[in-house]
């Protein structure tokens, strides 16, 4: 799949699972403060499945994006020299 499609989906999945995680943590903390065990359990059963699905999608997209071929050099000074002229150094033992 093209990078243009995967990158926005990846960013959306990060947003969804981080927001879901925040809702779970804050909801459970509120349930503990209020002393309401049902509230804590409701956060787990209500929000957790969709948050875990979003986190899984994010992980899969991250893996897919790590294998993409870069269209252009990235980082400072990248692309200054052609690849065949790049100097590599080896550590001598």
Mean pLDDT of the region 66-72: 68
pLDDT one-digit tens code per residue, 14-26: 999 999 999 999 9
User: Could you tell me which residue, 4 or 71, shows the higher pLDDT?
Assistant: 4
Asked, for residue 57, whether it belongs to a domain, the answer is yes
DSSP the chain: --HHHHHHHHHHHHHHHHHHHHHHHHHHHHHHHHT-HHHHHHHHHHHHHHHHHHHHHHHHHHHHHHTSPPSS--STTTTSS-GGG--------
pLDDT beyond 60 at 86: no
Residue 11: inside a domain: no
Number of structural domains found in the chain: 1
Q: What is the pLDDT of residues 16-67, one digit of tens each?
A: 999 999 999 999 999 999 998 898 888 888 889 999 999 999 999 999 888 7
- Higher-confidence residue: 32 or 5? 32
Give the structural domain span for 57: 19-67
């Amino acid at each position: 799949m093209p990078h243009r499609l995967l990158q926005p989906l990846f960013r959306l999945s990060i947003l969804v699972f981080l927001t879901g995680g925040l809702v779970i943590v804050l909801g459970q903390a509120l349930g503990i403060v209020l002393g309401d065990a049902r509230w804590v359990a409701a956060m787990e059963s209500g929000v957790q499945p969709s948050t875990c699905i979003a986190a899984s999608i994010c992980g899969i997209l991250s893996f897919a994006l790590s294998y993409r071929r870069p269209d252009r050099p990235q980082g400072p000074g990248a692309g200054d020299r052609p690849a065949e002229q790049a100097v590599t150094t080896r550590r001598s033992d």
